[in-house]
Structure 1
Amino acid sequence: MDERQSAALHRLTVAGVISAEQERAVRDALDGVPAASSRTGRLVEIAGYVGGGLLLGGAVLLVATAWEDLSRTGRLTLLVAATAVLVAAGVLVAGGPRGIRQLGVGTVAHRVVGVLFALAPITAALAGGVAVDDREVLVGAAVGLPLAVAGYAVVSAAVGLLVAGALSVVVVMASVGEHPAAGPLAMGLWLFGLGVLWLVASAGRVLRHRQLGLAIGAVIAFFGAQQPLGSSDDAVWAYALTAVLAVACFAGYARERTFVLPAAGVVATTVVVPEAVWDWTDGAVGGGWLLLVGGAVLLAASGIGLRLGRSRPGVPVRPVEPAR
């Protein structure tokens, strides 16, 4: 038993979950059990990461160097095979299909399988793009996104959620880009809506990594809110969407105690106010004044976040039933 485990066991005794006699019995029982080698576990984990990275990098390098020499069938076969190998490797590390459901969260096997299942949608997206002559980006992302979602549903790994977030952005941007009449405003609205979906899914406890999901949603929504700046006629939409995002993040922080929401609210507020002032004054306000405005807004937004944090009552802790 290492120091952290010993301290955790003692805290259970102090909290009354177990008695002192039970603590001594647990210590006596574990004294004869050799602790698992953390160094070996880390080496195995690193080997899994390196293996997955080498497989993905090798596939990309091979395709890049021999792209012209390979037929479409050869390219597609190579990428599909790489995807299958990544998935099979993940299942093998987990100990079979049944072992995937029994993976302990935070264990070495869980992290390695999560990375392998996160890499598979990338090679699948490349395969989808190779399989068609038109709309390669859209088709590829549309193929990879469901696989990324399925991988996260099976093994809830943070890296899988990041891949799903990136592919969802590519799908939306490629879809909107297929319509020549769609301008920056349409792109911004669709991306903003995508970010809102991520925020709602994370706040609604659909995702296991709630803070990461909130961060992904906030980044996507902010990115979408800024898109209308590409057209001078639609700039007001950028200010409105960014302001809505800031207000929503501050309001959400009053309900969800997480640093992601106030941080996103502060960033959105600090960006939108100088942008709006610069635009509405036709650039009459110089850079120094904009810095002052931005600093004042940053302080005000930070103050709002702190006040919301102080005004929110603490979450009551359920008392632990003492040991009998």
Structure 2
Amino acid sequence: MMVERSVGTALTRLVGQGVLTEEQRTAVLEAVARERSARASGGRWVAEVAAYAGAGLLLGGIVLLLGSSWEGLDRAAQVTALALVTVVLVAGGLALAGGPRALFPWAGRQATASGQVVPGGPGGVGTGGPDPGGLGGAVATVSGGAGPAVSSGSSVPGAAAHTVPMRLAAALFALTSISVAVLVGTSVDDGGNDTAWTWAATAGAIVAVLAYAALPSLLGLLAIAGFGNAAVAAILDQVSGNGTAIGLGIVVVGAVWFAATRFGFAEPAWAGYAVAIVTALAGAQGVLAEDRMWPGYLLGVLVALVCFALYRRQNHPVLVIGGGIALAVAVSEAVWDWTNGSRSAFVVVLIAGAILLVVGAAVLVRGRD
């Protein structure tokens, strides 16, 4: 497969550079082969699908049961029911993960200083961060091999848990953020006011961060993104009630996502950058919708420049795609507003885009040849 060839090529390059030994390269390839073989197992696939389907049906049943009698319960009973759901989710996650000692795997990165294997990696390979070959994490040190450790500087292991129980546990922890948000919102609700929503979103964001730190996962990353944006928007709305301030706040959240992903605190990196791009663009659109002035266009262009600069250092396709989209949106909206929809301006933008496309494609083809 293409992934296996890219992994082999990357490891061979590291051996040639003296970063890895030949023994370490062989151990990594064997670990990858074992992981691929395990993933291809039909029985394991059926078991994982059954487990996720069962968890979904169980959650759906709880929602239906509560919904059928929710209005007949007083607030104390509602809070108690939600607290029980939260406890069940946390207990289930702990049981599947193997107990509290299995949580917060990023703390194990301290072991790399003494040449030990970072816990959590498949087949004895540490999962420290982004890697060129799709191993699910960077190679730290292979057990039994000599030579320097290899680390990408990531502070959080690869977001994908490497066993079915761990993935299920991470999903349950992520769902806990939803149950806690509803629990807090119900507890402080007073006639459906905005304060209850603010507290609910803030509580959900805090629990989502803790859940992701305990067991990193893609679902946990999305939970942080959803509740984080909602909490910031709700808080700024309560404080200022100004659309521009809310938009700028969301842009700042997007900048935090860019930084967190760049320094390895959000994995997988493609998902972290995707969240950063969408969040920052949403904030820029919020600023633009409020006053239709140049700061909104400038923020869109700034998002594009950040994406292109990061793509220069980290070759993630989502960055160049996101940067292109951000630039197209910002320039198109600016030209439309500043020219009052003039067709001649559209032609100029079209010609400029065509020239850039031809020049870029020519350089790429020439470089390939």
> Normalised by the size of structure 2, how large is the TM-score?
0.68
Q: Quick one: which amino acid aligns to residue 77 of structure 1?
A: T
Q: Is the CA contact 1:198–1:213 (under 8 Å) kept in the aligned structure 2? A: yes
Q: Is the CA contact 1:257–1:309 (under 8 Å) kept in the aligned structure 2? A: no
Q: Is the CA contact 2:94–2:169 (under 8 Å) kept in the aligned structure 1? A: yes
Question: Within 5 Å, which residues of 2 pair with 1:238-257?
Answer: 238-257=296-315
Match of 1:321 in 2: none
Match of 1:69, SS state, is coil
Matched, 1:112 2:168: yes
Match of 1:110, SS state, is helix
Match of 2:126 in 1: none
Match of 1:93 in 2: 96
Match of 2:129 in 1: none
Matched, 1:214 2:273: yes
Write the deviation string for residues 54-87 of structure 1: whole angstroms up to 9, x where unpaired: 3433343334332210111111111121111111
* Coordinate RMSD, CA, aligned: 3.6
Distance 2:355 2:230 in 1: 35
Match of 1:322 in 2: none
Write the deviation string for residues 118-137 of structure 1: whole angstroms up to 9, x where unpaired: 11111111111101024122
Write the deviation string for residues 15-74 of structure 1: whole angstroms up to 9, x where unpaired: 8835xxx99xx9xxx9xxxx8992332233223322332343334333433221011111
1:99 offset after TM fit, Å? 4.1
Match of 1:281 in 2: 339
Matched, 1:80 2:83: yes
Matched, 1:198 2:254: no
Distance 1:140 1:308 in 2: 51
Q: Quick one: which amino acid aligns to residue 54 of structure 1?
A: L
Distance 1:241 1:66 in 2: 48
Question: Within 5 Å, which residues of 2 pair with 1:1-324?
Answer: 17=22, 38-100=41-103, 103-104=120-121, 105-133=161-189, 134=193, 135-179=195-239, 181-231=240-290, 233-285=291-343, 290=346, 295-296=350-351, 299=354
Q: Quick one: which amino acid aligns to residue 195 of structure 1?
A: G
Q: 1:164 to 1:306 in 2, by over 3 A?
A: farther
Q: Is the CA contact 1:242–1:268 (under 8 Å) kept in the aligned structure 2? A: yes
> Normalised by the size of structure 1, how large is the TM-score?
0.77
**Unaligned segments of structure 1, at least 5 residues:** 313-324
Q: Is the CA contact 1:91–1:113 (under 8 Å) kept in the aligned structure 2? A: yes
Distance 1:295 1:59 in 2: 54
1:247 offset after TM fit, Å? 1.2
Q: Is the CA contact 1:176–1:187 (under 8 Å) kept in the aligned structure 2? A: yes
Q: Is the CA contact 1:56–1:82 (under 8 Å) kept in the aligned structure 2? A: no
Identity of matched residues, %: 34
**Unaligned segments of structure 2, at least 5 residues:** 16-20, 106-118, 122-160
1:110 offset after TM fit, Å? 2.1
Match of 2:343, SS state, is coil
Match of 1:254, SS state, is helix
Match of 1:131, SS state, is helix
Q: 1:139 to 1:308 in 2, by over 3 A?
A: farther
Distance 2:80 2:208 in 1: 20
